[in-house]
Structure 1
Amino acid sequence: MSRKLNLQQDAVLKSLNDPVRRRLFEFISQSTQPVGRDAASKAAGISRTLAAYHLDRLATAGLLAVTFARPEGKNGPGAGRTAKLYTPAQAEVSVSLPARNYRLLGSLLAHAASVDTSGVVLQALHQAARGEGQMLGQGSGGLVPLLDELGYEPEVDEHGEISMGNCPFHLVAQHQTELVCSMNYELVSGAVEGCQMDCSRVELSPRPGRCCVVVHPQ
């Protein structure tokens, strides 16, 4: 049976199959600031020219967004050309063969839960999320590695507080924010319990550009 890819899927597959582009993409995804070509080439261990080529291919595939800015501290005449900077693209890109539409399924289920005035569906969702978190926590090598595997991109500060750099359910959360945030809370709380971290406290603390859940040390 013939399997057809659209042009965007084809570009994504080719980009992520290349080990150099994968290293560049991972480096930029983990950076808290826009990345220039010099920093990217150093991180990947390749020349600046080659890095520029691969970065632009990643941008064309929709995996990176491009901005322009002058070097820090340089303004006015003689400051030089603006630098090309790269950040992770805000839009999600996914590829599956054959095509699957789990995003639509998630949106439909979230909508069904949100319009259920009895609260039964929402309660069942919370119970399922907490139970799944507990099960995953019991079989994990620790809370932070588990949260990273789930796509939360956890960050631990000097006080031991864990914040989440990413919401794995971002697209659904844009339309069903309260429902997804409450589900995140239950899932992470269950993971904390499963990892037997009784000294930790989970809180809903929405912040711009981050997931709504924070894990505090007691």
Structure 2
Amino acid sequence: MSKMPQPMTQQMLKTLTDPVRRRLFDFVFASGKPVGRDEAAAAAGISRTLAAYHLDNLGEAGLLAISYARKQGKTGPGAGRPAKLYAPAHQEVSLNVPPRNYRLLGSLLATAAASDDSGVVLRALLAAARSEGIELGESGKDLLDLLHELGYEPVQEENGDITMANCPFHLVARHQTEMVCSMNRELLSGVLTGCRCDARRAELNPAEGRCCVVIHPEA
């Protein structure tokens, strides 16, 4: 009897149970740019050959996107073969047992709020986001740790800014961008208020490939 093919999400989950593959995946995700086998191997403390094997497995599972490029500064004859590069896959993966569809629920609620010409629903949403943020901030957790838990993948920049490499509401934001960005700002403003980070402020500053909100040190 032939085996039924596994859903892709289950294959992804099984792939990440290997600790070496998880270290490699976390490194690639945190890099913010395509990385090669050599730097991934060095970060994980393994050989280049073993890193290549696991990186390719992550690519086959749909967790990493694979591309090819020549080393910077080398072009034309003698430049060598293009290097294999790995970056986080753009698709969003969610595994719920039994199946749930919270993305659809969020999309429907956002569409309903956007259809309310009076603005009452939007104001209620933003107020709820700020209130929830305050409650989360009052948990006593470190700000960066809390942002990680919320799925923002915060990055501490040299100038003191905190940028977010990920938007936890990305799929809904694609269709209701202005609403979700405003909600993000209110949620994070509430977090700053709750954790008494008075020297910081959340500001809308959209850019490609990251969350629309940046947390600045107060001038």
5+ residue gaps, structure 1:
none
- Tell me the residue number matched to 1:116: 116
| TM-score normalised by structure 1 residue count | 0.94
Deviation of 1:7 (Å): 2.6
Distance in 2 (CA, whole Å) between partners of 1:153 and 1:106 is 21
| TM-score normalised by structure 2 residue count | 0.93
The within-5 A match list for 1:125-164 is 125-164=125-164
- Tell me the residue number matched to 1:43: 43
% identical equivalent positions: 63
AA matched with 1:39: E
3-state SS of paired residue (1:68): strand
Distance in 2 (CA, whole Å) between partners of 1:48 and 1:101 is 40
2:28 paired with 1:28: yes
* Structure 1 runs (4+) greater than 6 angstroms displaced: none
- Tell me the residue number matched to 1:91: 91
Deviations 1:139-197 (A, max 9, x none): 03222221121111112223322221111111110000011001001000000000112
- Tell me the residue number matched to 1:56: 56
Q: Residues 5 and 94 (structure 1 numbering): CA distance in 2 closer, same or farther, change over 3 Å? A: farther
Distance in 2 (CA, whole Å) between partners of 1:140 and 1:111 is 34
Deviation of 1:33 (Å): 2.2
Deviation of 1:32 (Å): 2.4
Deviations 1:34-62 (A, max 9, x none): 11111111211222222111111111111
Distance in 2 (CA, whole Å) between partners of 1:103 and 1:140 is 29
- Tell me the residue number matched to 1:67: 67
Distance in 2 (CA, whole Å) between partners of 1:115 and 1:33 is 38
How many pairs were matched up? 215
Q: Residues 117 and 124 (structure 1 numbering): CA distance in 2 closer, same or farther, change over 3 Å? A: same
Give the conservation status (yes or no) of the 8 Å contact 1:66–1:86. yes
Deviation of 1:6 (Å): 4.3
- Tell me the residue number matched to 2:201: 201
Deviation of 1:94 (Å): 1.4
Distance in 1 (CA, whole Å) between partners of 2:24 and 2:36 is 11
Give the conservation status (yes or no) of the 8 Å contact 1:125–1:183. yes
